[in-house]
């Protein structure tokens, strides 16, 4: 619901797009100043449209973080890419994020194709400049500027925060005038229930490394305040995998790995909620769920 507009106030939706694993979610978290989108070193960690809100003097920026645009080779990846591409037609401005330290020719070719028919401003963020030599930046900016008429090209580091304010300023100046869409205190439109599931999924990725592929989904089965203890929230969640071997890896010897996943998840959810959490995790095998449209819909893809 839009708020009352002051004269000259700017607001709008910004779609964050780009190849996998270039730091889109890290950049969103940095701009907002709080973690709302999970991160890991694995590509395609983000699967859903994650919406975050930044309020600046005279401006409200509503960001939509999307999965990485890549060549889809499975029904799950097809859904992920469709989610990313759908955003490109629903926003006022596109923020294209690329890894300045590691160009991927295949992803760059896909992005060029996707940008061809855009009728909205596109701003390019060259991320991870903390990893490259500064003299190469000028030639990199020139190379990208020759590819597409970007509204602005801004080198940034989501990791250190360098140039992030300059990026926010460039985005603010590009948005149309209009009233704010959300109250000033809002940082996201996502429910804490959804965020809790995303935190658990992130901890699975971080604890299992390369042992567990992307065929992992998390559903929240119970999320409620304890009836007797107001400062305690009870959460039951199920981690879905595709094979019995994956279940064994997740649980670990005598439940050790699942215990670490649960402990790390609980601590972060407690920080998010500002209260104590009782977290119970289950692991369930759903054979080949990432190739089954019924399960993809059930798990929110």
Of residues 265 and 19, more confidence is placed in 265
pTM of the complete model = 0.68
Parallel/antiparallel/unpaired status of strands 59-65 and 93-99: unpaired
Residue 147 lies in a domain: yes
Reported as a single tens digit per residue, the pLDDT across 174-186 is 999 999 988 887 8
The CATH number linked to 197 is: 3.30.300.20
In 3-state terms the chain splits into helix, strand, coil percentages (rounded to 5) of 40, 25, 40
**Do 121 and 235 belong together in one domain?**
no
Residue 70 lies in a domain: yes
Contact 37, 52 (CB under 8 A): yes
Reported as a single tens digit per residue, the pLDDT across 206-245 is 888 777 766 788 999 999 988 888 889 999 999 999 999 9
- The domain of 283 spans 192-298
Residue 212 lies in a domain: yes
Residue 197 lies in a domain: yes
**Do 15 and 132 belong together in one domain?**
yes
Reported as a single tens digit per residue, the pLDDT across 60-118 is 999 987 765 444 455 555 555 565 556 667 789 999 999 988 765 555 666 666 677 67
Residue 184 lies in a domain: no
Q: What is the pLDDT of residue 72?
A: 46
pLDDT value at 268 more than 60: yes
**Do 15 and 104 belong together in one domain?**
yes
Residue 180 lies in a domain: no
Residue after which a domain boundary falls, among 142, 174, 206: 174
The CATH number linked to 81 is: 3.40.50.300
Residue after which a domain boundary falls, among 113, 142, 174: 174
Residue 123 lies in a domain: yes
CB atoms within 10 A of CB 83: 17
Orientation angle between helical segments 256-273 and 244-251, nearest 10 degrees:
70
Residue 54 lies in a domain: yes
Number of domains in the chain: 2
CB atoms within 10 A of CB 204: 24
Q: What is the pLDDT of residue 71?
A: 45
**Do 166 and 222 belong together in one domain?**
no
**Do 16 and 161 belong together in one domain?**
yes
pLDDT value at 279 more than 90: yes
């Amino acid at each position: 619901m839009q708020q009352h507009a002051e004269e000259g106030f700017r607001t709008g939706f910004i779609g964050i797009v780009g190849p996998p694993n270039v730091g889109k979610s890290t950049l969103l978290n940095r701009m907002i100043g709080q973690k709302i989108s999970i991160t890991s070193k694995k590509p395609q960690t983000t699967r859903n449209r994650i919406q975050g809100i930044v309020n600046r003097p005279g401006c409200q920026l509503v960001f939509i973080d999307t999965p990485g645009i890549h060549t889809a080779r499975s029904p799950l990846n097809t859904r992920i890419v469709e989610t990313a591409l759908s955003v490109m037609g629903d926003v006022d401005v596109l923020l294209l994020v690329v890894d300045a330290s590691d160009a991927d020719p295949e992803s760059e070719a896909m992005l060029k194709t996707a940008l061809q028919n855009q009728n909205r401003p596109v701003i390019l963020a060259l991320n991870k400049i903390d990893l490259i030599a500064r003299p190469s930046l000028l030639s990199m900016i020139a190379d990208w500027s020759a590819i597409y008429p970007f509204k602005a090209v801004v080198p940034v580091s989501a990791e250190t925060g360098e140039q992030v304010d300059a990026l926010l300023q460039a985005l603010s100046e590009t948005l149309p005038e209009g009233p704010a869409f959300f109250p000033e205190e809002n940082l996201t439109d996502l429910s804490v229930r959804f965020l809790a599931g995303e935190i658990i999924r992130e901890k699975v990725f971080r604890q299992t490394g390369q042992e567990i592929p992307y065929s992992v989904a998390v559903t929240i089965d119970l999320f409620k305040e304890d009836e007797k203890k107001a400062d305690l929230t009870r959460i039951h969640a199920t981690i879905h995998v595709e094979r019995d071997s994956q279940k064994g890896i997740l649980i670990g010897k005598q439940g050790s790995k699942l215990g670490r996943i649960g402990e790390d998840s609980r601590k972060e959810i407690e920080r998010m909620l500002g209260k104590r959490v009782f977290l119970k995790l289950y692991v369930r095998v759903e054979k080949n769920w990432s190739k089954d449209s019924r399960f993809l819909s059930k798990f929110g893809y």
